[in-house]
Structure 1
Amino acid sequence: MTSSNGPWAAASLPSVPGGSPPVTDREALPDRVWTLPNALSVLRLLGVPLFLWLLLGPESDGWALAVLMISGFTDWLDGKLARWLNQGSRLGALLDPAADRLYIVAALIALALRGIVPTWLVAVLLGRELVLGAALLVLRRYGYPPLQVHYLGKAATLLLLYAFPGLLLAYGSNPVAAIAEPIAWALTIWGTVLYVLAGALYLVQVAGILRTERAAGGTTP
């Protein structure tokens, strides 16, 4: 569930020191709102509160998994349509990763409240989001757009979005619970490690940008 809503524009900001990849300028994407890929992204976002309610209200895990599967399909479809129809947009580039993060946060909260995942796991993953949120504010202060999602982060997000449904299956009364549990926890551990590592790489890029800005400021007459 990590497809981007349309191809990134070719325009990018200068690369940062230390071999970090260039910062992609999302502002160079077309400023379009009413597109089919954006409509699918909004549909995914509307599914987040429904997904959370199904997990915490009636605890209808099967329906919650169905919502997650539909979200995954629309995530793949909006990226394909954006490329086929040439409907990439700034809004789509922001909505797509936002929906992934919201599903991860919603699943974490629900699984923690139901006692399926430990609180330290919630603290690690949500702490990572808070730190990166602060880094985003720093980038905005210097006039930079959000950095492009790293492939490591995409892989981590994919692992976690497969892990959480597996954890639901593992703690349910179904014949596949015994098989699902070790697989789900393996995906959870690997996904968490990669998620944190991707966040660390993001912070390295932000630090490189800050060093560049400070050096440029120091050489300004």
Structure 2
Amino acid sequence: MSEAERTPETVSDRVLTLPNVLSALRLVGVPVFLWLLFTHQDIWAFVVLTLSGITDYLDGKIARRFNLVSRVGQLLDPLADRLYVLTTLVALTIRDIIPLWLLIVLVGRDLFMGVVILLLKRVGQTGLPVHFVGKAATFNLLYAFPILLLSSVDGIVGDVAQPLGWAFAWWGVGLYLLAAVLYAVQAAAVIRAARSAAGRATPGAA
């Protein structure tokens, strides 16, 4: 799950790269997932959702490992992530696979982080270093969604998937909220430092 909290990296103007192709495929997979889910083809929807999570992990890993970070990727990857997460949450809520409160909590957290990033941009900071807690939260949620989807399947698969999916979901939600607090604390320190530096640079400032 990519956010504006990424660390600065060498960025190219290349368009056709493997990470960008993976991000584009994830975008294409969104309507396919929705069609499968709402036609109750849950096993195939699970497959598409799982592949989306895998490509989300791989595109960033490949980009950093092989120096393929690009400006197009920096726009495409977060767009694919946000669309993937939002549509998954809304669709699973409509299907009554996850409760409404989970959708509200996760979307509310993202809105909060959007405000934090806007405040950072006002002092010239484009993002924050990615925290391990945030990565762990994303890992748990990427597992939780497809496993919770499997809980709708009748029989032993659904019976096993339900507690397992909720275990990942609870850990994911907790860590996701904790990560937001940690990012907010980091952001507050950055904003204070930037304002202090601006005050010292102002002629006649005490």
Contact 2:53 2:142 in 1 (8 A): no
Corresponding position of 1:152: 133
Contact 1:3–1:76 (Cα < 8 Å) also in 2: no
Q: Which residue of 2 aligns with 1:7?
A: none
Q: Which residue of 2 aligns with 1:169?
A: 150
Percent of aligned pairs with the same residue?
53
Q: Which of 1, 12, 35 is 2:17 aligned to?
A: 35
- Aligned equivalents of 1:51 and 1:81: distance in 2? 24
Could you tell me how far apart the structure 1 residues matched to 2:94 and 2:28 are?
22
Distance 1:197 1:136 in 2: 17
* Partners of 1:157 and 1:81 in 2: CA distance: 18
The reply to whether residue 207 of structure 1 matches residue 184 of structure 2 is no
- The code of the aligned residue for 2:19 comes to P
**How many residue pairs end up in the alignment?**
201
- Aligned to 1:138, which of 114, 119, 142? 119
The one-letter amino acid of 2:169's match is T
Cα displacement string for residues 140-179 of structure 1 (whole angstroms, at most 9, x for unaligned residues)? 2222223243221121111111111111222221322211
Structure 2: gaps spanning 5 or more residues: none
Provide the secondary structure at the position in 2 that maps to 1:197.
helix
**Runs of 4 or more above 4 Å deviation:** none
Letter of the aligned partner of 2:142 in structure 1? Answer: L
Q: Label 1:112 to 1:83 Cα distance change in 2 as closer, same or farther (>3 A).
A: closer
Q: Does 1:25 align with 2:8?
A: yes
Distance, in Å, in 2 between the alignment partners of 1:87 and 1:78 is: 9
The 2-side partners of 1:149 and 1:187 are apart by 21
TM-score for both structures, normalised by structure 2: 0.84
Which of the two has greater helix per residue?
2
* Residue type at the aligned position of 1:25: P
Query: Bigger shift: 129-138 or 75-84?
Result: 75-84
Map 1:36-185 to 2 at 5 A.
36-55=18-37, 57-79=38-60, 81-83=62-64, 85-185=66-166
Residue of structure 2 equivalent to 1:189: 170
